[in-house]
Amino acid sequence: MISLLLSWLTAVTITPLLGTMFLKAPKGEPGADPYGGKFYRSFGGFLRGCIKVRWLTIAVVLTVFGSALYGFGYVSQSFFPNSTRPQFMVDYWLPQGTSIERSDADAQRVESYLMGLDGVTHVASVIGQGAMRFLLTYTPEKLNSAYTQFLVEVDDASKIPALYDEIQDHLSENFEDAQPQVRLFILGPGEPGKIQAKFFGPDPNVLRNLSAQAEAILASHHDAFGVRNDWRDRVLVLRPVIDEQQASQFGISRQDINNLLLQAFEGLPIGVFRERDELLPIVLRAPQDQRIDAASIRNLQIWSPAVNRTIPFRQVLTGFETVFEDEIIQRINRERVITALGDPRHGEAPPLLNDVRDAVEAIELPEGYRLEWWGEYKSSGEARAALAGSIPVFLGMMILITLALFNDLRKTAVIWLVVPLAVIGVTVGLLATEQPFGFMALLGFLSLSGMLIKNAIVLVDEITLQSQEDKPLLDAVTGSAVSRLRPVAMAAATTILGMAPLFPDAFFVAMAVTIAFGLGFATVLTMVVVPVLYSTLFGIKSN
């Protein structure tokens, strides 16, 4: 915006000054027609022919426009593209409840395999949690002893696609009880699970059943992988059954029992040690050989305030039970929610979502339960909704400015009717370069609309000026198009060349393709369609 305002100021002040200083009068006969060359005469004749068969011309343009709209349905959709940084991640999940020692042992095997691959230069493994946030678009995994993440660096980013499939196939075949997933960095907001079906409701058993159905649908798709839920597996728990009456007689509360079990196995925090600017927890727990022996729970001693001494823990127990329970329960706004998630192994997320959406939404939900789609679908929708909320206001302002400029509804209509023609070039460009229509492409399309309006304004303004002269209206229309052909084409060409350096850039390529191809095709069509529409709306008859 600032650059355009300053360039306009320069154009109406500095440019005329430089013109008088450096430009000389053209050589040739005074009064000679500068547009009398063969090219301009051919274009003028072609334009007269299009105006003569104006309804056929409009029908052809509408047919091409309709074909572009149909072809746009084949353009892949994406939120943000993958990064070209020479790094990728490997998420490695073991069954929930797996000890961190087992995760560490597997991590050494996986790390040894990764380091032996051609092109891999460094591997960093983070066991029990995700790495610290080292990138704005990276979302670290929470604490979990069954989880390991490998950050893999390669010497050339072009080797990543081949390594992606090789690593995924090897880990899936050789680590059967694990769930490995190779993930690429993306140039935008990203988290594991581009496809996320969230089920809300009160009963954990019902939620797990709903999630299992959605996971089965996702797993049945040929391109889905990394299918799981964010509650993970239920874990086997040895639970002591408390004799409430006996415990009450000894003055022992449930909190006392909880602290005893923490002290005997996981560790009971009893204080904090300060070392300069660090706070180190002081944890009281039994020796390791006792902590790993579940049978030692019967020999624990617990303090009884009633008898003022320790008593065997088994005196307040009626026995033990082995149960499966949810170690992880996710909530949003204090409401239980389980997420069935997955990723496309190849390609973009929207095609996978479109394939499974109807089947997932067909799952019968009990009363009090609901389904919401999150992941890339929600993020993309929110981003586009934020833009869509402000677009009508500024669109209205642009129309009012155009209307104030010409004070004519028909001229304003001519200008705005050519804006949708940009879809033709955008569709051709995205399909030809195999680029998805994502957030950056959407921004490029919004910028493109302003460029097309500018070209149409230049042409309509010239038609207005020439129509005020003593010449037939048809000659004014065709003469204006011929005289404005070179400046409009050169302005479009310079803009397209300005976009060309962005074609190799992974982040901006979709935006550059959208602007370059959309502007190129629309400029050609504008120089024909605007005169034809102008002649039609103003009733200008052809000779």
Q: What is the CATH number of the domain that holds 53?
A: 1.20.1640.10
- In the block, tokens 């940009």 appear at 422
Q: What are phi and psi of 317, to 5 degrees?
A: -115, 150
Q: Would you say residue 194 lies in a domain?
A: no
Q: What is the model's pLDDT at position 543?
A: 63
325, 360, 381 — which closes off a domain?
A: 325
Give Cα 255 to chain centroid, integer Å.
47
Q: Where are the beta strands (DSSP E) in 201-349?
A: 224-229, 235-242, 268-275, 278-284, 301-304, 309-312, 317-325, 331-332, 335-344
Q: What is the model's pLDDT at position 190?
A: 64
- The region of weakest confidence among 37-51, 76-90, 309-323, 352-366 is 76-90
pTM: 0.72
Which element (helix H / strand E) includes 370? strand 370-375
Q: Would you say residue 256 lies in a domain?
A: yes
66 and 111 together in one domain: no
Q: Does 332 score more than 90 pLDDT?
A: yes
Q: Would you say residue 382 lies in a domain?
A: no
Q: What is the model's pLDDT at position 137?
A: 74
- Identify the band that residue 366 occupies on the pLDDT scale cut at 50, 70 and 90: very high
Q: What is the model's pLDDT at position 29?
A: 64
Q: Would you say residue 200 lies in a domain?
A: no
412: Cβ–Cβ under 8 A, 6 or more apart, which residues?
Answer: 399, 402, 403, 406
280, 308, 325 — which closes off a domain?
A: 325
User: In this structure, are residues 314 and 241 in contact, taking their beta carbons and an 8 Å threshold?
Assistant: no
Q: Would you say residue 300 lies in a domain?
A: yes
User: In this structure, are residues 229 and 338 in contact, taking their beta carbons and an 8 Å threshold?
Assistant: yes
504 and 425 together in one domain: yes
Span 177-208, pLDDT tens digits: 899 999 888 876 667 788 999 999 999 999 99
Q: H helices within 94-148, ranges in order?
A: 100-115
68 and 87 together in one domain: no
User: In this structure, are residues 518 and 429 in contact, taking their beta carbons and an 8 Å threshold?
Assistant: yes
Residue bearing the bigger pLDDT, 44 or 273: 273
412 and 531 together in one domain: yes
Residue 9, amino acid: L
Q: What is the CATH number of the domain that holds 295?
A: 3.30.2090.10
- Identify the band that residue 31 occupies on the pLDDT scale cut at 50, 70 and 90: low
Q: What is the model's pLDDT at position 32?
A: 63
Q: What is the CATH number of the domain that holds 141?
A: 3.30.70.1430
The pLDDT mean for the chain works out to: 87
| Tokens at 49, concatenated | 């022919």
Q: Is 303 left (phi over 0), alpha (psi -120 to 50) or beta?
A: beta
258 and 307 together in one domain: yes
Q: Point out which residues pair with 271 in neighbouring strands.
A: 282
Q: Would you say residue 378 lies in a domain?
A: no
165 and 262 together in one domain: no
109 and 52 together in one domain: no
512 and 416 together in one domain: yes
150 and 271 together in one domain: no
- Hey, is 2 helix, strand or coil? helix
d(CA 374, CA 231): 16
Q: Read off the pLDDT of each residue in 381-385 and give the average, rounded to a whole number.
A: 79
Q: Does 325 score more than 80 pLDDT?
A: yes
Q: Point out which residues pair with 304 in neighbouring strands.
A: 309
Q: Does 336 score more than 80 pLDDT?
A: yes
* Number of domains forming the structure of the chain: 3
β-strands 268-275, 278-284 pairing: antiparallel
Q: Does 465 score more than 90 pLDDT?
A: no
d(CA 124, CA 153): 9
419 and 509 together in one domain: yes
Q: What is the model's pLDDT at position 389?
A: 76
d(CA 396, CA 190): 34
67 and 87 together in one domain: no
- In the block, tokens 């195999």 appear at 434
| Tokens at 317, concatenated | 């127990």
185, 204, 225 — which closes off a domain?
A: 185
- Hey, is 32 helix, strand or coil? coil
| Tokens at 326, concatenated | 């949810």
Q: Read off the pLDDT of each residue in 401-409 and give the average, rounded to a whole number.
A: 89
Query: In which domain, by residue range, is 110 found?
Result: 83-185
Q: What is the model's pLDDT at position 526?
A: 85
Q: Distances in Å between the alpha carbon of 182 and those of 91, 93, 128, 132, 209?
A: 6, 12, 17, 18, 27
Q: Would you say residue 469 lies in a domain?
A: yes
Question: Which of 357, 381, 361, 358 is closest to 369 using CA atoms?
Answer: 361
- How many residues appear in the chain? 543
CB neighbourhood size of 250 (10 A): 17
Q: What is the model's pLDDT at position 99?
A: 87
Q: Where are the beta strands (DSSP E) in 48-178?
A: 87-93, 120-127, 147-154
Q: Does 455 score more than 80 pLDDT?
A: yes
Q: What is the model's pLDDT at position 151?
A: 93
- The region of weakest confidence among 161-165, 170-174, 384-388, 518-522 is 384-388
- HSE, CB side, 13 Å, CA atoms: give it for residue 28: 8
Give Cα 344 to chain centroid, integer Å.
13
- Identify the band that residue 454 occupies on the pLDDT scale cut at 50, 70 and 90: confident
Q: Does 225 score more than 70 pLDDT?
A: yes
- Identify the band that residue 28 occupies on the pLDDT scale cut at 50, 70 and 90: low
Q: Would you say residue 317 lies in a domain?
A: yes
d(CA 100, CA 391): 52
Q: Does 25 score more than 80 pLDDT?
A: no
Q: Does 247 score more than 70 pLDDT?
A: yes
Q: Distances in Å between the alpha carbon of 487 and those of 3, 6, 10, 271?
A: 20, 20, 17, 77
148 and 241 together in one domain: no
Maximum Cα–Cα distance for the chain, whole Å? Answer: 123
